[in-house]
Structure 1
């Protein structure tokens, strides 16, 4: 039966369509006030945002408030609410409004809709009509072609949409981005929606954080908790268990007339994004991002070659008769696919933060992962790991990029349930650990590789090459974190296993021999380190050849440990020969070549040419800035060493100023608690003492010591060095007895941590003896030096400079004594 138009137009005020009811525990948001200001009186506003943020509820609140003020100045004469998810629905609602307000012919909906829009257009001499048109859930901007309400000084249009297309923002329309609840809004919502006072504020806050402050998720979680009678803690445990899909945590009856459970909230958006050009790429790209960091993914990862290969292999069909486009996927295709996802509010692709180009809500990620089979998820995870490796620069010039790559690797490892460990350990897990260590976070690198070693041992077996490789890196970074003796022990145990599993000449076995020597040296046995490396050099030349980078590295370390053992004469000459070979084989800009230049400058300085060392480091600094970047940790280290040798060359004021500037940069780039930052603070305090302010030096070192104990641990070598120098400057400030007591306490810890024969332990005994004499016990000082002499002869030999120095002190303390010099940090 055909509908007939009413005999008379409807009287004002008149409403067409139903405003959605107020959601349970509805929260007024500050955004609503902005909305009222933005289209007060006239104009068009477009509410955009991801599904579930509450766009419809905001629009409904606005419409309801405007309608309730219909009788007031600034109220409404006509309100039309349109469900605008398809063009046909828009036409139908417009036609209905035309029928009711203009007596349009209902038999021709298109014509009736156009007549309604014409009726809205202001006309000279006619009574003004104050109207509000709400177009809720516009799915495709093309559906509004020819159907936008006209501009009018008395009319307002409010649109809600997940789309962010430029077409929606044209013609001066006011775009309002609807985001997530704030922390306070989410807490207020949960507090008011969940019955009873039994849930703590902390638990509710944690639940809001777990759900990413998404209003739809909070509503459905609240309904589930009420329906099942579960506690918030129980629900959070279910949510944290990745074995549970989101669909399993949906309430039986959705609250607030919601149409879809959370797990399906974005399925239509994904379908539409996938249909946008380049068709079929949005879905697989979203799958890739679902395994990475929700708070920011570098664009370099999502346009890398492994990503493009993954998109080409997993391009989806966008219709029953549309096959994926043939050929490879280009970086521009990937960028356009990101734009498609952004247009549908599935991702944010306009982040102003460098290297956080793409953000994805954690629940969109969860829902996307839930739709993958185990095989698909593992395959996607390996591809994401490949993409991270492709984006990871060999030299980390950009600290912010390196940090984001590490964060994304951690997110990937956390979401993949072992995919990165089978059939073998993906190299990104080693790369992230090295990146931590190379950025100065040695303790974090140690902990990472300890976990990696434990996991590979459990999953792959004790003798699997990946398990041995993880143990190797664990031992290495354990040593770099200050546990040299433990690193040496771990390397010795690993060496036995690598010889048994891989053979004595395998390159990995040779690497372990090298590290064993290194950590024996840092544990205080420089002679043994040099001897082991000399034996290793013969095998490396035989197995790898004289020009292999590892062979050259062994030559470098032999020279270092010979010098540490007292054979410093000729160290610079040996390094000059090595440098020539490294430039020829590796190139002038290779990191190993730059390290040798750094150490060559150091040995020149130690040989008495401080000015030459400073000049060489100045040249090196220019090259490190060019090759590594101005903020790279090695560049900052070169600046530190340059300041040190400038001081030794006589420019104390210039050196102090340089370290002050460096300290600011290290705090900004590395953070105030980074070990390198703490070393710079140490040397600044050291220079204060050298400039004559012994009390100021002691005060600075005392502050530093508290931070080192907190950040590094009490037994870390840097902490022990600071205690050594603090005791020294306390003595120089006039308190010899306090200095002697501090050295006595330090000696006990050094014997326990480093061993009785470690060079630093022997130096502490030297200073303890001196300050005892200064404190009024010259006989005790002489006796202590005589005991020390026997150990110096045994450890270093009778002709070592330190041994000869002891003999002078024994003679001196039979009269008047002088304390030994302060202990500098090892050169970097």
Structure 2
């Protein structure tokens, strides 16, 4: 096949590649005839062929169709090779494969056809070999900028040029036009990047004016994409390509979940913004928009190279160049962008599962929400804070990214206060979440103080009987307990429960959670049997109210198992943990922090029941999975390492204990530093375990102290698993028990 199709998005340099090939073929004497056709329309192709026929065959130019066919017939192989010219036909920028019906040059051993297009239709590959043309690599893009600017005596830092190339998405046309703009304006690269990042500036203002484009380029990148979008919007399903591209322009260019773009909010957006159809026959109303319609719109955009649609990768099914996104948003007025941001937020919320079983999907949703915030922050705060902003913070915590959760809620608090005022209910909720994550980041005293301040404001703004006020009282009690004031926490929760029972009723999830907390604190005060009895009562009510598969029900079952063990029945605790673990895996998934916590608890109770070697093996397996899911510095890693050290020691495995102790010491030193009170103890104990001293009498009790130190460290660093705001929350203890608390803040059972 002597025909090739250079296919790719507008701006990757297909025309330049074709022109370079044609110049070399002509200059090297490889061809006798070169015909360049700007093939934007069928008529343009016919006219170009007719002109060639008039020049070569002296055909009548007044009948272009006949002349064009005469030219194609002349290109057919001749009886004698001497009568056959060597030719190259370039069909540049084919907009519609249908325009070439009956106009393809013939297959000829001495002839070549080269076609450039943004289309990826199967009809093209039936006639020619497809050659995808992509973006520059980072090195190619940086080298291009260096060369373009050096020609005008510009010597810019290589790292700055790399950053600019990344900002422009390594798109050749954008790099060329940006370099021309820098040369014409004498602007330095750093300032240009600041302008480029400014959402108030349009992309067109940061590129040369149409009459001054470099390399005889006919249009700017934005104009080229606009033409492609106009064509896409005319294809079936008609009128959906434009609103679909506008929605995708608000999300992550590196991968958008298909579930978001086919969600009910997305379908409603397509229906409301579908381009009106004219002359579409007698159909009174356009067909309903379905998920199939949305996928059809994605396929159109893919065919026109405006997006890459890979349905086999559902979590990152749509990728789109960031400059196409920028140009698409630039075409919208601020109000439209704000409405579109809320639509995108609705779509992400609809695609976000209540339980994040699929960690890859959750990661993609977080990335898309972060990208959406950067596009249009204002629209997400008016008239109120969109729920997806809370969901993002909780998802960070769900993934074990406690610092990211705290930072997110700090930003959310600041921005909500700016837009809505300090007394707005959304501001108070953001402050509550921030208080919680402040505590989980290692400042329980600060968390308690902040909750006390939030409670004061909620009492003033909402009154003592509002559910949010009652929730804040619960959270304040939780952090009182975490700071050591267990008696104060019990008293506060007991008083709050009396009011909450009258206001919300005995079956409200808030009251069930408060009862669960009181049960836990009863156990922590020294009555594990009473705690187990109270947990059993809460479990009975949660089964009735929430059902057997609700995460809070499973959480209470896990708590009950732990209090049974604390009350002297480790075998019963292990059996209960085994049973609830199966349900955690089925409901939350194998990698959910609560599932991993339950596995860790099961390992500990297995050891307490008399199988330390089995407990050590289980702890090692949990540690491996926690490292994979949470990373090496997550607080749960301390807990897993401490358990592994302890059970290896109890199992009589000195070599394994020494290795595990060394790893735990590395974590200790890396995260807390070398001057902590337990660091020297850890070093000395490790030396003994490695046989560097014979003071074995000292090693036993001192090693037990070290294990307690690591467990204390694990408790101090432990963080909870998130649940949605204004709902129920779990709490962690040193032995890795999963506990439950109340309130509007995410917590996790480690």
Displacement of 1:527: 2.4
CA RMSD of aligned residues (A): 2.9
Q: Which residue of 2 aligns with 1:64?
A: 23
1:728–1:488 Cα change, 3 Å: farther
Match of 1:76 among 31, 41, 66: 31
Q: Which residue of 2 aligns with 1:289?
A: 248
How many angstroms apart in 2 are the aligned matches of 1:607 and 1:710?
A: 36
Query: Is the contact made by 1:682 and 1:722 (CA closer than 8 Å) also made in structure 2?
Result: no
Displacement of 1:670: 3.2
Displacement of 1:722: 8.0
Which runs of 5 or more residues in structure 1 are unaligned?
Answer: 1-41, 755-822
Displacement of 1:268: 0.7
The answer to whether the aligner puts 1:50 opposite 2:9 as a matched pair is yes
How many angstroms apart in 1 are the aligned matches of 2:522 and 2:700?
A: 36
1:579–1:300 Cα change, 3 Å: same
Displacement of 1:354: 4.1
Count of residues paired in the alignment: 706
How many angstroms apart in 1 are the aligned matches of 2:676 and 2:587?
A: 34
Match of 1:618 among 565, 570, 578: 578
Query: Is the contact made by 2:600 and 2:736 (CA closer than 8 Å) also made in structure 1?
Result: no
1:720–1:617 Cα change, 3 Å: farther
Match of 1:130 among 57, 63, 86: 86
Query: Is the contact made by 2:10 and 2:221 (CA closer than 8 Å) also made in structure 1?
Result: no
Displacement of 1:369: 0.8
Q: What SS does the corresponding residue of 1:463 show, helix, strand or coil?
A: coil
Displacement of 1:319: 5.8
The answer to whether the aligner puts 1:234 opposite 2:191 as a matched pair is yes
Q: Which residue of 2 aligns with 1:193?
A: 148
How many angstroms apart in 1 are the aligned matches of 2:361 and 2:678?
A: 33
* Structure of greater relative contact order (alpha carbons < 8 Å, 6+ residues apart): 2
Query: Is the contact made by 1:95 and 1:113 (CA closer than 8 Å) also made in structure 2?
Result: yes
Query: Is the contact made by 2:529 and 2:563 (CA closer than 8 Å) also made in structure 1?
Result: no
How many angstroms apart in 2 are the aligned matches of 1:152 and 1:138?
A: 21
Query: Is the contact made by 2:195 and 2:201 (CA closer than 8 Å) also made in structure 1?
Result: yes
Q: Which residue of 2 aligns with 1:105?
A: 60
Displacement of 1:574: 1.6
Q: Which residue of 2 aligns with 1:377?
A: 337
Q: Which residue of 1 aligns with 2:660?
A: 700
Which runs of 5 or more residues in structure 2 are unaligned?
Answer: 690-694, 717-733, 739-749
Q: Which residue of 2 aligns with 1:368?
A: 328
Query: Is the contact made by 2:570 and 2:609 (CA closer than 8 Å) also made in structure 1?
Result: yes
How many angstroms apart in 2 are the aligned matches of 1:725 and 1:355?
A: 48
Q: Which residue of 1 aligns with 2:719?
A: none
1:324–1:166 Cα change, 3 Å: farther
How many angstroms apart in 2 are the aligned matches of 1:129 and 1:486?
A: 85
Normalised TM-score (structure 1): 0.80
Displacement of 1:720: 8.1
Q: Which residue of 2 aligns with 1:782?
A: none
How many angstroms apart in 1 are the aligned matches of 2:443 and 2:314?
A: 36
Q: Which residue of 1 aligns with 2:418?
A: 458
Q: Which residue of 2 aligns with 1:572?
A: 532
Query: Is the contact made by 1:644 and 1:655 (CA closer than 8 Å) also made in structure 2?
Result: yes
What are the within-5 Å matches in structure 2 for residues 419-818 of structure 1? 419-693=379-653, 697=657, 700-707=660-667, 710=670, 726=682, 729-730=685-686, 733=689, 734=695
Displacement of 1:411: 0.7
Displacement of 1:309: 0.9
1:64–1:656 Cα change, 3 Å: farther
Q: Which residue of 2 aligns with 1:213?
A: 170
1:123–1:678 Cα change, 3 Å: farther
How many angstroms apart in 2 are the aligned matches of 1:405 and 1:728?
A: 47
Moved more, 246-255 or 499-508: 246-255
Deviations 1:139-197 (A, max 9, x none): 111110111112223322111101111111224x3212211110010011000000335
Query: Is the contact made by 1:695 and 1:729 (CA closer than 8 Å) also made in structure 2?
Result: no
The answer to whether the aligner puts 1:348 opposite 2:308 as a matched pair is yes
Q: What SS does the corresponding residue of 1:570 show, helix, strand or coil?
A: helix
Displacement of 1:361: 0.6
Q: What SS does the corresponding residue of 2:143 show, helix, strand or coil?
A: helix
Q: Which residue of 1 aligns with 2:747?
A: none
How many angstroms apart in 2 are the aligned matches of 1:396 and 1:489?
A: 31
1:502–1:724 Cα change, 3 Å: farther
Query: Is the contact made by 1:302 and 1:334 (CA closer than 8 Å) also made in structure 2?
Result: yes
Match of 1:166 among 122, 130, 137: 122
Query: Is the contact made by 1:643 and 1:658 (CA closer than 8 Å) also made in structure 2?
Result: yes
Displacement of 1:412: 0.8
Query: Is the contact made by 1:316 and 1:324 (CA closer than 8 Å) also made in structure 2?
Result: no
Displacement of 1:526: 2.2
Off by >6 Å, runs of 4+ in structure 1? 320-324, 719-722, 737-744
Displacement of 1:215: 0.7
Query: Is the contact made by 2:529 and 2:564 (CA closer than 8 Å) also made in structure 1?
Result: no
1:677–1:710 Cα change, 3 Å: same
Q: Which residue of 2 aligns with 1:118?
A: 73
Q: What SS does the corresponding residue of 1:346 show, helix, strand or coil?
A: coil
Query: Is the contact made by 1:526 and 1:562 (CA closer than 8 Å) also made in structure 2?
Result: no
The answer to whether the aligner puts 1:334 opposite 2:298 as a matched pair is no
1:546–1:263 Cα change, 3 Å: same
How many angstroms apart in 1 are the aligned matches of 2:80 and 2:47?
A: 30
Query: Is the contact made by 1:672 and 1:678 (CA closer than 8 Å) also made in structure 2?
Result: no
1:211–1:243 Cα change, 3 Å: same
Q: What SS does the corresponding residue of 1:80 show, helix, strand or coil?
A: strand
How many angstroms apart in 1 are the aligned matches of 2:704 and 2:587?
A: 44
How many angstroms apart in 1 are the aligned matches of 2:131 and 2:635?
A: 46
1:424–1:710 Cα change, 3 Å: farther
Query: Who wins on radius of gyration, i.e. which is larger?
Result: 1
How many angstroms apart in 2 are the aligned matches of 1:553 and 1:541?
A: 12
How many angstroms apart in 1 are the aligned matches of 2:194 and 2:415?
A: 24
